[in-house]
Chains A and B, each alone.
Chain A
């Protein structure tokens, strides 16, 4: 990727997303309670959506947008199902 203002912006946003991913992974691994882990899993899904959108800009293909639509529709069913499980366990 050659230098230039749009590419520098892309690289900076990739770095920020990577930082967010590392921080939420840290919370996923060393979460004090299970609720922290659930929220961090939801957050990781959102960050992955951001990664896919940026990658679709890099490779210049719109077909990746559908992946993002599906992830955004599916993402919170995991959260809801774990919450239901925790609620019925008590």
Chain B
């Protein structure tokens, strides 16, 4: 496709989609959003690019291959099980770590966030695989 409108729109929408994907990922525990939706949004930003320009160019530009994304995400998911096992809790029970930040206040980091980031990366990889196999780029 060689549409100038689409190409310029894809450039700007890409940044917006990535921003919104990170917002959806980070607030996913208590509000709508989460790893799956964030991953879909982040992958769609690249797919926009693929439609506007050329799917082959996009695949060549990707520094990390889709299967690496999936492997990284699944290993993060497995890694998020470890703290609950070490603390002798139920498997996948949330372990929260409270970090004090000087001005902003208290930040709660926990294994659900790690799990969500793993899901995020896995969904990105799977969506890339779907897209590249549907557009027959090899």
Contacts and interface: CB of A to CB of B under 8 A. Distances in A.
B51 A80 contact: yes
B47 interface: yes
Interface in B1-58: 1, 6, 13, 16-17, 20, 24, 31-33, 37, 41, 44, 47-48, 51
A74 B47 CA distance: 11
Contacts of B20: 66, 69-70, 73
Interface size class of B (residues with CB under 8 A): 10 to 19
Interface of B: 1, 6, 13, 16-17, 20, 24, 31-33, 37, 41, 44, 47-48, 51
Interface of A: 63, 66-67, 69-70, 73-74, 77, 80-81, 84, 87
17 contacts: A63-B31, A63-B32, A66-B24, A66-B32, A67-B32, A70-B20, A70-B24, A70-B41, A73-B13, A73-B16, A73-B17, A74-B44, A77-B47, A77-B51, A80-B1, A84-B1, A87-B1
